[in-house]
Amino acid sequence: MLGISIFEFRICFLRVGKIIAITNQKGGVGKTTTAMNLSSSLALANENILVVDSDPQGNLTSGLGIKKDQMKAGLYEVYTGKATMEEAMQQTLIPNLYVVPTSMDLFIAEIELLDKTGRETRLKNFLKPLKDRFRYVFIDCPPSFGILTLNALVAAESVLVPVQCEFFAVEGLSLLIKLLWRIRGGFNETLDLEGILLTMYNRHLALSRQIAEEVRRVFKSKVYDTIIPRNVILAESPSHGKPAVLYSPNSTGAQGYITLAKEILNDHNLLF
Ligand SMILES: Nc1ncnc2c1ncn2[C@@H]1O[C@H](COP(=O)(O)OP(=O)(O)O)[C@@H](O)[C@H]1O
Ligand SMILES: [Mg+2]
């Protein structure tokens, strides 16, 4: 009897969704690549996943194979009340991976939202009815700290921060952590740091190794064990409208994200 109730509790617990913003104010550090391949790896492990493209550049949208003429509505239409999240949401090539796509119009939302009341809680409210249908909801943030990123950080329970293994990684991270503390103080007091992900690691470069060591020394257990290597397949696959984990699953890049997905799922299982 007790066994069954613990089992039921476990099922219930696993079904509760978690919203994670993938963010870093720096461009080109691997946010979109992580959003695309981590969400795909988790979906391939049979988890229901939603990924929201909150960068007006729309690289995640095109990388997941969504074409503009197939888009019923995107995040801009949701922000402006022309569509619901449900209407904008689209299935991807992986059946249990859904995306809320975006177009360049989202640039306008950044301006239009400025004088609206409750402007920073909009995404949180849009996601509320959907959240528990998914194990994870990821939000791919733009490389800036405007109203779109603020909405993501207010909606999220935690942030996943990709960091490129290059000079100034620690300085950039320290700045980001300060910004997160400001968000906790003013907008979202329970916002947590989910984890720091080292990306574009080149094991042949002493610099890559030094930066990885330095980030681990400063941020300790907050850094994922998994390191994403520099691998051209990760850069190539979006032009084929596929995540690397579908385009070339045995590549070192795809394997990196599959290992990260396992690390994240195991981490949660440790709770039981
Ligand atoms: N591990 C990697 N190895 C090689 N290229 C990568 C890797 N991660 C990302 N890239 C490439 O680097 C560029 C920037 O990555 P992206 O994920 O778009 O960063 P961001 O979203 O932070 O701006 C893209 O062209 C992407 O394809
Ligand atoms: Mg991006």
Residues with CB under 6 A from ligand 1: 27-33, 59, 143, 199-200, 228, 230-231, 234-235, 253
Residue identifier of the C-alpha nearest atom 9 of ligand 1: 30
The contacts of residue 251 (CB under 8 Å, 6+ apart) are 231, 233, 234, 244
For the chain, domain boundaries: 17-269
Q: Evaluate whether 127 touches 155 at the Cβ level (below 8 Å).
A: yes
What does the pLDDT profile of the chain (272 residues) look like in tens digits?
444 444 444 444 455 799 999 999 999 999 999 999 999 999 999 999 999 999 999 999 999 999 988 888 999 999 999 999 999 999 999 999 999 999 999 999 888 887 777 899 999 999 999 999 999 999 999 999 899 999 999 999 999 999 999 888 888 999 999 999 999 999 999 999 999 999 999 999 999 999 999 999 999 999 999 999 999 999 999 999 999 999 999 999 999 999 999 999 987 544 43
Going from the Cα of 199 to the center of ligand 1, the distance in angstroms, rounded, reads 9
Instruction: Indicate the DSSP class of residue 129.
Output: T
End-to-end CA distance of the chain: 18
3-state SS of 15-56 is: HCCEEEEECCCCCCCCHHHHHHHHHHHHHHCCCCEEEEECCC
State which ligand 1 atom lies nearest to the alpha carbon of 229.
1
Strands 90-91, 97-100: pairing is antiparallel
The contacts of residue 248 (CB under 8 Å, 6+ apart) are 233, 237, 254
State which ligand 1 atom lies nearest to the alpha carbon of 26.
22
Distance CA 184, CA 174 (A): 15
Rg of the Cα trace of the chain? Answer: 18
Going from the Cα of 239 to the center of ligand 1, the distance in angstroms, rounded, reads 12
User: Is the entire prediction scored with pTM above 0.95?
Assistant: no
Ligand nearest to the CA of 54: 2
Kindly report, residue by residue over 145-156, the tens digit of the pLDDT: 899 999 999 999
Distance CA 107, CA 147 (A): 10
Kindly report, residue by residue over 87-112, the tens digit of the pLDDT: 999 999 999 999 999 999 999 988 88
What CATH number has the domain spanning 17-269?
3.40.50.300
For ligand 1, mutation pick of 23, 24, 33 (most atoms within 8 Å of CB): 33
Going from the Cα of 31 to the center of ligand 2, the distance in angstroms, rounded, reads 5
State which ligand 1 atom lies nearest to the alpha carbon of 140.
21
Residue identifier of the C-alpha nearest atom 17 of ligand 1: 30
Q: Evaluate whether 247 touches 237 at the Cβ level (below 8 Å).
A: yes
**Nearest Cα to Cα of residue 135 among 260, 1, 12, 238:** 12
Backbone angles phi, psi at 198, to 5 degrees: -80, 125
Distance CA 69, CA 116 (A): 30
